Structure 1
Amino acid sequence: MEVKVESGGVQEEEKLGWGRSLPVPSIHEIVRNDSYSIPDRYIQEHKDRPQVSESLPASLEIPVIDFSLLIKGDEDERRKFDLACKEWGFFQITNHGIAIEVLHKMKTAVAAFFELPLKEKKKYAMAANDLQGFGQAYVVSEEQKLDWNDMIFLNTLPPEKRNFKFWPVTSPGFKEAVDQYAKEVQKVAAEIYANLSVLMGLDRDGLIKLQGELKQGIRMNYYPACLRPELVLGISPHSDSSALTLLLQDDEITALQIKHKQSWVNVKPVPNSLVVNIGDATEILSNGMYKSIEHRAITTEKKERISIAAFVFPDEEQEIGPLESMVDELHRPRMYRKMKYVDYVRQVFTRKMEGKAHIDIVKLENK
């Protein structure tokens, strides 16, 4: 097995993972060295700059679901959940059962990693053939605009999918915090998936039986402050290729925005809650009933920000396609073709973030 140096870290040549991304500079390091300048490659085209729409009332907020009621089978809360998935594709959950201490330790561990010297972080750099590790995703050309963030992505569940050469062992408490958080957030995801199964006309374990054991990967993001936040994007508009995404936000900074009725809406943090959104895989399985929603992150000139996104996805070797219970040839004809999930994800990562463009890969009208 050949060993080579990639971006300051020793990596082994292995089979292709989900995809690859071109190496880019650390924006954290750029800001550390010069917080007053914005490199041209980070300045978005005028049409892509973050201008919040004024066509919707500022008070408009995504639905909030009381997870404790959903677990108990409360029909009113399930109907609320159903509407949130259909009309918004995003919602926040409270009373999710994850201890505040677990959330705090996760945020602290992630923040501590990003504060490490660049030389240390590079020890966990992405390999040239995979997306795990410290680096950036969706960078497919030397010309495209870059997002104002650094990230580290890890496969977290099941445990045998972990590759510990990408896990920062020099950051005290990191492994333990990620391990505990991953397990706790997966319990929440499994309950959400069970409720989706029922809404799609299956038994609670219907989607798991069809799609195999739910896998998980966690993307940890660091967004430096920016003196001209109107010129950059923390993360470009996109939908997630996952089945579900569960996001742990900064409790004090509003930066996540979602596309709702063609306008951008702020997702105001509810302290100690999780933001949940429908991913492409669920849109495909539901035959478009539950849509993955375009979203982005903006930056702030006052303070850096951390976010932690847990992506829950089907077994990568399973096919995804509309469930028969969600197809009605007269009223809701089949909208997507079947595709092995790993093939879908690999195609997604060959392209930059482009809003909802990725799901066109499986739309039948584009076949």
Structure 2
Amino acid sequence: MIDVLIVDDDQLVRKGLMLAMPWDRFEMRIVGEAGNGEKALEFLSENHVDLLITDLAMPVMSGIELIRTSRKLYPDLPIAVLTLHQDFEYIQEALRLGAIDYIAKVQLEKERFEEVLGRIHDRIHADRRKRFNDEATMESGKDALFYGEQGKETQSFGESRCERELLGSSVVEASDVSVKDKLHSFRWVHEESYMLELLDDLKTLRLPVPRLMQLLYGVTEDWNRTFKNIVSTEMTIPVHFASWNDVVEWMLNFRAEALRLSGGQYLRKEVTSSIMTAVKIVHDELQNPLFASDVSKRVNLSRSYFNQCFKEMMGYSFNEYLRKIRIDKAKDYLIQTAKPIVWIAEHTGYADEKYFSRIFREQVGMLPSEYRNTTRRG
């Protein structure tokens, strides 16, 4: 939708334009009107406008001065002028200042309104497309330099990215969902070949750098949240990466540090990987019924060996750890939300509210409702 501001010192002219022109047909709507340039600038400072239509001869501030000031303050704002035929010199000056079209007042009744608005509509969208393509090409050029591929079909990549942005961010997210799942599985921490494959997938995808940073930041936060009971040191991510080589170096360092902190260098990597996968399952599927026998099968360990290794690595048995994480999550819900106790019980894996309340009291020393009231008073 194109939001339009009409500026004219003659109220009848303003009303006539608002009522007579087929705005809806050209995806336009009137969002404001002003009787002089100063009022128009005041409106522009407080409201979003896609098209300014202004008279040239007005008191207080002329249309020419309004155009000149608007071009400085809002260089991308399209402007059309209202004028009398004898104002031809004013028209020339307005066009020189950047006005995209003009409407002759004396011909308002017989002017072909569709032609005028159609011309303005097409010009606005043409300018938008050009501006977007220029920005996309510039960004894609930066991305190509980042990935070390300058000079390799930068323009075609810009067009591809432009198309994806026009279709919406969901297209970008859908294209990298598989890589996102691989990153958050943390399998790459324990399998070097898997990490190399993941890096290749990431580079091939050639995500815009901000999106890549977003993905890697999310992975870092997920690691710190999930494995804070295993490792005492939180992983960090730089404010920015200068190049793809920096990303590769960061992931290699992340992997080496994660292995060191989790004891992966001293235990069989397959076992460490299995236990950490089990921990990830607990966090990701907290609301579902979880049993050591089922989880041990999913991570390819016998139940007895799984229980032994889980206790050795985590300091808790599987059931103790599961209960601890569920209660911790319940505490978060009680403090940060107003959800009823039954909802919190269900979303932390307890089908029975009374059983949940009993377990909570055993672990925390008070009922969930008491905990909520106590922490909020504090």
Q: TM-score range by the shorter chain?
A: under 0.3
Higher alpha-carbon Rg: 2
Q: Which has the higher strand share?
A: 1
TM-score by length of 2: 0.21
Q: Which has the higher helix share?
A: 2
More relative contact order, 1 or 2 (CA 8 Å, 6+ apart) = 1
TM-score by length of 1: 0.22
